[in-house]
Amino acid sequence: MADHASPSTAAHSDAHGHDDHDWNAHIKTYMKVGAILFGGTVLTVAAAFLPIFDLHHRAGNLTLGLLIATVKCTFVALIFMHLKNEKKLIYKFLLFTVIFFGVMLFLILSAQHDPIPLDPTHNMVHHTITHP
C-alpha cells in the first residue's frame, strides 16, 4: 500500500493517472475490513450469549467480547486510520498514551483491591478508653 503521507509518495501521487489501479486495491482492502468489522460485530453478540468459562460472573463472555472488540479496533486503527503506513513518531506517542492508559486503569484497580484490613482489636481498645 502506498504511503500517501510520506514525502516520496506524496510527490508521486501528484502525477496520478497510473495510480488508479493502486487505489482500487485500496478499496478492496477497505471493503474487506468493513466485512470483517460487520462479522466481528455478529461474533460479539454471539459471544455474549455463549455459555463459556464462568456462568455467574460472565468473565468468559466479557473477555471474549473485549478480545473481539480489540481485534476490530486494531483493524480500524491499522487500515482505516492508515496507522500501518504511518511514521514512527506517531507510534512513539501513541505507545506512551497506551502505557499511561494502562497505568491509570490497573493502578486504580489495584489500589482498590488492596485495602487496609480492619483491625478488630481497634474498637475494643477504644471502647475501654471511653468507658473507664
Partner 1 sequence: MSSAAHADHSDHSHDHGHDDHHHELSFWRKYVFSTDHKVIGAQYGFFGLVFLAIGFILMLAMRWSIAHPGEIMPVWIRTLLGMFGPGFMEHWAPDGVMAGELYNMFGAMHGTIMVFFGVVPLGVAAFGNFVMPLQVGAVDMAFPRLNMWSFWLFLVSGILMFGSFFVPEGAAQSGWTNYSPLASTVGAHSPNQWVHGQTIWLIAMVFNISASLLGAVNFITTVMNLRAKGMTWMRIPFFSWAMMVIAFLLLLAFPPLEVAALLQLSDRVFGSSFYLPTGLYVNGAHMDVSGGGSPLLYQHLFWFLAHPEVYVLILPGIAICAEIIPANTRRPLWGYKSMVGGVLVLGFLSFIVWAHHMYMTGMGQSISTFFQFTTVMISVPSVILLTCLMISLWGGSIRFTVPMLWAVAFIPMFGFGGLTGLPLAFNMIDLYLHDTYYVIGHFHYVVAPGTIFAMFGGIYHWFPKMTGKQLNPILGHLHFWPSLICMNLIFFPMMIQGMAGFHRRWYNGGSAFPNTTGEYLWMNGLMSNAAFIMAAAQLPFVINFFYTIFLGKKIKDDNPWHATTLEWATPTPPPHGNFIIEPIANRGPYEYAALGTTEDYLPQWAPLTDHERANGAVDLPVKPPAAPSHAH
Partner 2 sequence: MEIPYTVKPRPDTGLANPKLGIWLFLASEVMLFGGLFSAYIFLRVGADFEWPFHDLIVWPGLTNTFVLIASSVTVVMAWVSLKMKKYGRYKMYMSITILCAMIFMGLKSYEYAGKFKHYGVTLKDGSILEGHLGHHAQGDKIVFGEVKALTFSLTNRSADLRVLDFRAEKNPAFDPHSTAEGNHLYHPVHGGPPVKVRTPEGDEVELTASWLKAQHKAYAEAKEASYKFVRDKMDAGEKDVKLPEIQVKNKQGLLVKAEPSITVEIVGEPLLLLVDERDLLSYDKNTLTFREETKAGGRLVTDAIEFIPDCIDLRRAENMEQSLAWKYLGEDMRQKFFTSREASIKDLTERKPWLFKHEKIDPADRGKSHGDEDVKRYSDRYNDEDDHDWAHSVEHDKVINIDRADKRFFANFTPRYNNFYAIYFVMTGLHGLHVIGGALVLAWFLFTGRKMYETNPEQLENRIEVGGLFWHFVDLVWIFLFPLYYLM
Residues forming the site for partner 2 (CB under 8 A): 4-7, 10, 13-14, 16, 19-20, 23, 26-27, 30-31, 33-34, 37-38, 41, 44-45, 47-51, 55, 58, 61-62, 65-66, 68-69, 72-73, 76-77, 80-82, 87, 89-90, 93-94, 97-98, 100-101, 104-105, 108-109, 112
Which residue type does 23 have? W
14 binds partner 1 (CB under 8 A): no
110 binds partner 1 (CB under 8 A): yes
With beta carbons less than 8 A apart as the criterion, state whether 64 and 50 touch: yes
The Cα-based distances of 7 to 12, 13, 14, 55, 86 in angstroms read 8, 10, 11, 54, 12
Residue with grid cell 501513541, as numbered in its chain: 94
Cβ neighbours around 69 below 10 Å, total: 14
Q: Nearest distance from residue 47's CB to partner 1, in Å? A: 27
Q: Select from partner 2, partner 1, none the partner in contact with residue 114, using the beta carbon and a kind-dependent cut-off of 5 to 8 Å.
A: partner 1
Closest to partner 2 by CB, 17 vs 132, is 17
Grid coordinates representing 93 are 506517542
